[in-house]
Amino acid sequence: MEIIELDVWSKFGCFTKPFSNSGGMLTYFIPPKTSIIGMIGAILGYKFDDYVTNDEGTNTYCIEKLNDIKVSIQPLFPLKTKRVTFNQVSNKGISNIRQDVLINPYYKLFIVFPNSLESEKNIFLERIKSQKSVFNLYMGKNEFMLNYKLINVYKYKTFKLDNSNKNDFFSSRNVIYGSLNRKDIKDATLKSDKINTKKVLFSGGNSKKLESFYEYFIHDYPIKRENFVEFEFSPISFYSINKDEKCYFSDIELKDNCFLELCNIGDKKWISLI
């Protein structure tokens, strides 16, 4: 299989969380995997409301066939938001909606199609190479047009990391980039090539500029959507860096009898796919 490395960016962005606080609606700081699947579906030409009705009377949406695609996300911008007010028009009139908006969001995406979606992968690659998409792409809201650029496509090898081999793995100067699925992990250490960093947990808060070179944690990160409204979540962590800096996970403690499958993206450089 191959890894597709893709950069996406916009002037603004918004990935609304499924809850609000007293100040307004919050945004995820990285696109949910479900949003990335939607972006891939838009390029392939999947309509969000296309479905088939099963014998049991339930609907299976066509885009669900993309759920087995794996991704890793790395923010390449300072995590900065601004709270803005949108006018929402409905039958009840006009109401004001306060919403956190990302400022100049820029992400590196690693995308892996399973073998069962080989034909879809080929169509996807053909279209992004020629900058074509069946439907418009957005950074979370249709007001924020999304730009993208294909960076690389390459074959990869995998490594199964567990507590029995992790010391040898990290002592050989192997590092892990991008987002990290925390489901089977007890703890992880973040390092930067240029400055000392410290770890912080982040699950929400008021709109503001957050420091780069910090690790952030999302307890309920959307990784799958079925029947249009049923979501599956997983805990993940990630960091924010500038495009010219290097920041990575340098040590991991896994839960008992658990492992982490890593994919090689370069000399001693690995990612964990979600």
Q: What is the mean pLDDT of each run of 10 residues along the chain (274 residues)?
A: 94 86 78 95 87 72 90 89 78 78 94 96 95 93 93 93 93 90 78 43 38 71 85 86 69 90 92 93
Give the span between the Cα atoms of 7 and 243, in whole angstroms.
11
Per the CB < 8 A criterion, the answer to whether 268 and 175 are in contact is: yes
What are 124's two structure tokens? 């996807």
Q: What's the pLDDT score for residue 245?
A: 59
Q: What's the pLDDT score for residue 205?
A: 38
The b-or-e profile of 162-192 (16+ CB within 10 A means b, else e) is: beeebeebbeeebbbbbbbbbeebeebebbb
Give the span between the Cα atoms of 82 and 4, in whole angstroms.
31
Give the span between the Cα atoms of 110 and 265, in whole angstroms.
9
**How many independent structural domains does the chain possess?**
1
Per the CB < 8 A criterion, the answer to whether 40 and 124 are in contact is: yes
Q: What's the pLDDT score for residue 23?
A: 60
Q: What's the pLDDT score for residue 159?
A: 94
What are 258's two structure tokens? 């658990």
Give the span between the Cα atoms of 213 and 249, in whole angstroms.
11
What are 202's two structure tokens? 């982040």
Q: What's the pLDDT score for residue 60?
A: 75
Q: What's the pLDDT score for residue 54?
A: 72
CATH of the domain at 194: 3.30.70.2660
270 phi and psi, to 5 degrees?
A: -135, 160
Enclosing domain of residue 227: 2-272
Give the span between the Cα atoms of 102 and 120, in whole angstroms.
31
Give the span between the Cα atoms of 242 and 77, in whole angstroms.
5
